[in-house]
Amino acid sequence: MNMSERHSHEPDRIDELLGSLHESRMAQEAPAGISVLPPAPQRPHRSRIWIVFVLIAAVAAAAVFLLLQGRAASLNIRSFPSGAIVFLDKQQVGTTPLVLPHVTPGTHAIQIRMSGWDTWNGATTAARGSTTQVIANMTHAAYSLIVTSTPPGATVTLDGTTKGVTPLTLIGLKPRNYGLVISLKGYAAISRTVDLSDGTQSTQDFSLIKAFGKLSIVSNPAGAQVIIDGKSRGVTPLKVDSFPVGDYALTLKLDGSTDITDTLSVKAGIPLAKQYKFDAELGELAVSTDPAGASVTIDGQVMSQIAPFTFSKLKEGTHEVELDLPGYLPWSGEASVSKGQTSRLSIALTKLQ
């Protein structure tokens, strides 16, 4: 007997065994004197029913499995800018924009990375049978710029704004191009374009070179004292053929006139010529005494001349005057001087008793 024939007869043997057990049970339960008829022959189609039932169960399980697969969760991940690397639960899964169609339902950690941008971290809950949108608006990473110079102390200007002096570290910058200018009195200014998206340009060092220009200052009237950055440089007219480059504060002083102030910007190889005119605010004061010969003090300064005398080049306004003559009471008082005019002061001194 081959294997197929043996398997085909196995259900019939099971049916015969079940029939014998049923016949024995009926014989035991029947009253005495009553014969028990043998059961009707069992039909062999019962085994086929079991096979059909198993097949139906298998088909149903497969259908449920396919249904569950069709209702898996999915994620649609985008970033601005795009092209960023995506990590799902610490596993790299691709670059944005990215659609993940078969994601386990539940909460997932998402990390998005891109060079030059801050890392984006977030979490999302994936729901079965739906697509969850994840949008990452990324921000530029903060960069720093280190600026040094030889000699130190140079002014640092970034995109037209003064930031400090070298050595200097600038923080919180974006990865883009910047205009960098380094300047120091007596040295030629240096300009550069710095691209902070290139990591090799985050440190900038400058070797400064001395430079000179020409300076000429004249005034009307001449003879004004020239003061540059608080230091006296002579009187007008002033000419310097080799003056260190840079920006300087200028003050011109002339007796009887208001000071003149200005800013000088001396550049390498470029002559700088400045002309100034004073507005004269001078007057005269004619002092006479009775008797004559008294010494005169004006605004605390003892004059070398004695009365009567006309004192010139006095500023317009009120002046303190003191008169002193031996044998007479000293005199003090005020005298007014007007611009371009001669004021007069005549005093009769009182003789000592």
Give the per-residue pLDDT at 103. Answer: 93
Minimal CA–CA distance to 172: which of 206, 199, 140? Answer: 140
CB 321 within 8 A of CB 296: yes
What's the CATH code, domain 212-277?
2.60.40.10
Minimal CA–CA distance to 351: which of 333, 322, 323, 330? Answer: 330
Give the per-residue pLDDT at 49. Answer: 75
Q: Which amino acid is at 280?
A: A
Angle of CA points 320, 324, 329, to nearest 5°: 105
Measured CA distances, 151 to 30, 205, 208, 260 (Å): 126, 11, 7, 33
DSSP codes, 247-273 = EEEEEEE-TTB--EEEEEEEBTTBEEE
CB 99 within 8 A of CB 86: no
Measured CA distances, 57 to 13, 24, 44, 47, 67 (Å): 26, 35, 22, 16, 15
Same-fold call for 47-140 versus 143-207 = yes
Q: Which burial class, exposed, middle or buried, applies to 75 when counting CB atoms under 10 A from its CB (0-12, 13-18, 19+)?
A: buried
Give the per-residue pLDDT at 282. Answer: 78
Round to whole Å and give the CA distance between 224 and 253: 5
Determine the 3-state secondary structure of 126 from DSSP.
strand
CB 342 within 8 A of CB 285: yes
Give the per-residue pLDDT at 16. Answer: 55
Give the per-residue pLDDT at 353. Answer: 79
Determine the 3-state secondary structure of 116 from DSSP.
coil
Give the per-residue pLDDT at 7. Answer: 42
The pair phi, psi for residue 131, each rounded to 5°, is -105, 125
Give the per-residue pLDDT at 26. Answer: 52
* Residue labelled with tokens 């380094």: 182
Round to whole Å and give the CA distance between 15 and 43: 8
For the record, the structure tokens of 191 come out as 């300009």
Q: Is the dihedral of CA 291, 295, 300, 304 positive or negative?
A: positive
Determine the 3-state secondary structure of 160 from DSSP.
coil
**What CATH number matches the domain at 143-207, 1.10.760.10, 3.30.420.40, 2.60.40.1120, 1.25.40.20?**
2.60.40.1120
Domain boundaries, the chain: 47-140, 143-207, 212-277, 282-348
Assigned architecture for domain 282-348: Sandwich (2.60)
CATH class of 47-140: mainly beta
**Interhelix angle 46-70/3-29, nearest 10 degrees:** 110
Measured CA distances, 313 to 197, 234, 258, 297, 345 (Å): 66, 21, 13, 15, 16
Chain CA centroid to CA 32, Å: 111
Walk along the chain (353 residues) in steps of 10 and give the mean pLDDT of each run. Answer: 42 51 51 50 61 74 55 90 95 96 94 89 93 92 91 96 96 91 95 89 95 95 94 95 94 86 93 89 90 95 94 88 95 91 94 87
Q: Cis link prior to 221 (omega < 30° from 0)?
A: yes
Give the per-residue pLDDT at 137. Answer: 93
Please list, in sequence order, all residues whose beta carbon lies within 8 angstroms of the beta carbon of residue 33, skipping any fewer than 6 positions away: none
For the record, the structure tokens of 257 come out as 């006139």
Give the per-residue pLDDT at 314. Answer: 85
Round to whole Å and give the CA distance between 180 and 170: 12
